[in-house]
Structure 1
Amino acid sequence: MTLASMAIAQGAELNIQAEFKPDPSNPFFNKFENKTEPTGYCFFYPSKCQANNMFSLRTPIAFNSKHPIVAKHTDPRQGAIFYIPTEWRDFMVTHSQTGAQETVRVRIVGFGSQYRVAPDDIRLLVNDGLPGIDIGPAHRMMWGVSWNTPPGNCSGYSDTVSYNHIDFTFFWTTPSQAPCQKQAQFKIPRFRYNYLDFAYELQTPNPLKMSTGSYFGNITYTLGPNEDFDMGDVMIPTDSLLSLNFTLNVQHTLKVAIPPGGNKVELTPKGGWQQWLQKGRVPEKIYRDQTVLISASSRFKMQLSCEQMMGDTCAISNGSHEVPVDVLVSMPNGIANDGDSSAVSRKPLSVTTAQVFKSTFYVDNRASSLHFEIQKRHVEEMLSEQGNYKGNITVIWDSDL
């Protein structure tokens, strides 16, 4: 079978995973972490990829010449030329349960491969079939300059190069959406790129605005002449499509801790009952501010559930008479009102309407306050009645929005 007659396969798929999990030691780091094991360039040179915030994968996609590459061809598309999709591209990821969608951006920032000349030793191709030249100079003679020197619109890394008498391994970065090309100085009967390495950069959504769970999405690139990955008119890919399947896992924290005894709330006036007992002065209110420790990294809602209900709030009763209890909440810095991002200070809670809050950064074991209050006119009613007033009020923190 000749290279020109090879069939184009349906497509190749690669899976990319990223994860967000709040880190108490770094609460302001609100980004996804790429959990995909690198292959190709970043596997061999991890420090360079980390320094440039890029990741790489190797695909088995090869490119084969459909006819010989002519020496000193004048049309760049008849030789070694590379158009790489370097621009940012958007695609949607969808929550597996809720259907909520977020935008992810990806761009290709580098590529590499291993070219192969055939059927002869490169030293014979550049020296009229005669031996007597070293392999390294022969590769340079083929292109007029070392392949390790990237053409104008690409850049490269010198430590990525390896070669033998038929192969040359390379990796170039692609800072702009423009072709990179090399001109063969000698005829190459058959030419091949043995695989496709590519490096990519991601821009992920703010995980603090996303729900716990998994989001899935994909983006597909085309390969071949005048497609996304375009290696000219001579080099034909073994696959015409490259699909990147993304999974974004969000693992939020919402934890509430009430100090010992904090589940029993006794409402008293400021300064105690002395003003009432000694002077008959009705307190402006009776209240209790209860500290609650909260850890949160996402949006959540709060609502009341009551044993006894009056209007939109809960009540306590002496058995025959009941009075409403106002329940309010104050949050630490890092948790804001969902609508306008304002600070949460004495926000009323109700039975019928949930109040939604959001994390502006990860809050870990910080103090918030629940305010329980009965206002003066109701305190006056209570003082004219007999018996102890009591009731159960349940405060609900819920991350399921």
Structure 2
Amino acid sequence: MKPMKTMRLAALSLALLGGAEVAMASEVTITAEFRPSSTNMRFKNTTPISGFCNRWPSYASCQEDDGKSIDLGINYTKETVSWAPIERDRFYALFPGTQLVDVSAAGGAPVQLSFSFTSFSAYLVKRSGLGFPANWGFYVEGGCRALQGAIGNGVSWGVNLWGINSPESPTGCHVGAHGEGEGLRAVSDISEFSVAYKLIAPNPLAMPAGLYTGEVNYSVGENGQIALGNNVTNLNTNSLKIKFELDVQHAFELQFPANSDKVILEPPGGWMRWLNGGPAPEKLVRDLPFRITKTGPMSVFMECEYLVGLLCGVRNPRNNHIAALDIKMSLPGGLQLHNGQAVERHPIPTGRTMPLRVETVTPVFNQPGALHFATAPGEAAAMVQHPGDTYRGNVTVVFDALL
């Protein structure tokens, strides 16, 4: 008998589990991309349009960046009462205020975007009851205003479009009725629950290239963060996840003259003064010009074949004498150090552990820069003590685009 009881209890548990209804979370993704050009320095919203603007794409607000809609995937049934004294018994919606959301690329520091709901639309089909659709008409009260007052077919269905008056801190929105008396009850199915939104993205010029992701979660229900009012049934979700994907791709190009892989140093004005019995040169120099296009942060450092303290050097193979070099860099004004200082003949550090970090203040396209090579103080006088000798060394200047 005991085995029989065990089997019956197990069968009952399976039946209960199979009959349970679990509201699934709704999830939408908002996407934007940054592709810089001389005329574009902003993120472009690439989120596919759905909801209201998918049905009525020519509507005025759907032409604006903050007016394009996205369907949140929220469906439910609601009983409404026209001109009900309790506002939540009417057709009702309340949205959360502005949310700051951290987004980050793989291995990078997070940056913040700002997200707000700016308008709201829903498609309502009456199941039963008297009067016009409960979301119809211009008589919108509370924290919204009617942007579109009447889209519908008689009394069977209706579509509302309400603007949220204070997106940073909304209050509940509701509508009494469309020229009707109090107390008319109706039961309606609501779908295509869509919103327009305002997305304030971070400054892309300060963001290394990459795919930045983040998310925000809201509860959904009669009293959720997205609140639907009283007498809601058949709600298909109790939560909404909004995911953000910001794709940042920077422009970066360096152009050096031909044969720039060899830099020959000589005294300012040439060797003739010294060859004619003049004093030893104070330094040997050469500037290497280049042109740069850059729209994001970067770091610069050197790698040396011969390291002299914190400087790169060149070596005399006959006697192994190594002379230190003083290597600096100048960049266009749109590229600055993190403290706002201009990059004007600024020393380049050696090694990738402590690079020179450069920020983009304004994007630069094909503008001039230069590498400045010179012997360190006192080195030229020592080098000319070995006339006819050649000093050589490899110096690699690394421009890291922080990709």
The interval holding the TM-score normalised by the smaller chain is 0.7 to 0.9
> In angstroms, what is the RMSD of aligned CA positions?
2.4
State the 1:80 CA deviation: 1.7
Amino acid at match of 1:187: L
Amino acid at match of 2:246: L
Task: Tell me, yes or no, if the aligned pair for 1:106 and 1:200 is still in contact at 8 Å.
Answer: yes
Q: Deviations over 1:219-259 (max 9, x none)?
A: 11211122122121123432111111111111123322211
- What is the distance in 2 between the residues matched to 1:93 and 1:272? 55
Query: Which residue of 10, 21, 24 maps to 2:35?
Result: 21
- What is the distance in 2 between the residues matched to 1:159 and 1:187? 20
Q: Which runs of no fewer than 5 residues in structure 2 stay unpaired? A: 1-19
Call closer, same or farther: CA 1:106–1:45 in 2, change over 3 Å: farther
Query: Which residue of 84, 87, 92 maps to 1:81?
Result: 92
State the 1:107 CA deviation: 0.8
Q: How does 1:315-394 map to 2 (within 5 A)?
A: 315-319=313-317, 320=319, 321-338=321-338, 340-352=339-351, 353-375=354-376, 377-386=378-387, 387-394=389-396
Between 71-80 and 240-249, report the one with greater CA deviation: 71-80
Task: Tell me, yes or no, if the aligned pair for 2:150 and 2:158 is still in contact at 8 Å.
Answer: no
State the 1:284 CA deviation: 2.6
Call closer, same or farther: CA 1:146–1:200 in 2, change over 3 Å: closer
SS of the equivalent of 2:384 reads: helix
TM-score (normalised: structure 1): 0.85
Amino acid at match of 1:307: E
- What is the distance in 1 between the residues matched to 2:356 and 2:337? 8
- Matching of residue 194 in structure 1 with residue 191 in structure 2: yes
Question: Who is 1:134 aligned against?
Answer: none
Call closer, same or farther: CA 1:160–1:369 in 2, change over 3 Å: farther
- Matching of residue 286 in structure 1 with residue 276 in structure 2: no
Task: Tell me, yes or no, if the aligned pair for 1:148 and 1:161 is still in contact at 8 Å.
Answer: no
The number of residues matched between the two structures is 369
- What is the distance in 1 between the residues matched to 2:370 and 2:127? 75
- What is the distance in 1 between the residues matched to 2:82 and 2:31? 44
Amino acid at match of 2:280: V
More contact order relative to length (CA 8 Å, sep ≥ 6): 1
Query: Which residue of 173, 186, 189 maps to 1:180?
Result: 173
State the 1:103 CA deviation: 1.5
State the 1:208 CA deviation: 2.2
Amino acid at match of 1:326: D
Query: Which residue of 212, 217, 221 maps to 2:209?
Result: 212
Question: Who is 1:42 aligned against?
Answer: 53
Amino acid at match of 1:294: I
Call closer, same or farther: CA 1:150–1:52 in 2, change over 3 Å: farther
State the 1:55 CA deviation: 3.1
State the 1:397 CA deviation: 0.9
Q: Which runs of no fewer than 5 residues in structure 1 stay unpaired? A: 1-5, 127-138
State the 1:7 CA deviation: 5.6
Q: Deviations over 1:265-318 (max 9, x none)?
A: 111222222221224222232111110111222221111112222111111122
Amino acid at match of 1:19: E
Identity, % of aligned positions: 26
SS of the equivalent of 2:95 reads: coil
Call closer, same or farther: CA 1:316–1:160 in 2, change over 3 Å: farther
Q: Deviations over 1:5-57 (max 9, x none)?
A: x966221111111111221344xx2x322111111233314752443534310
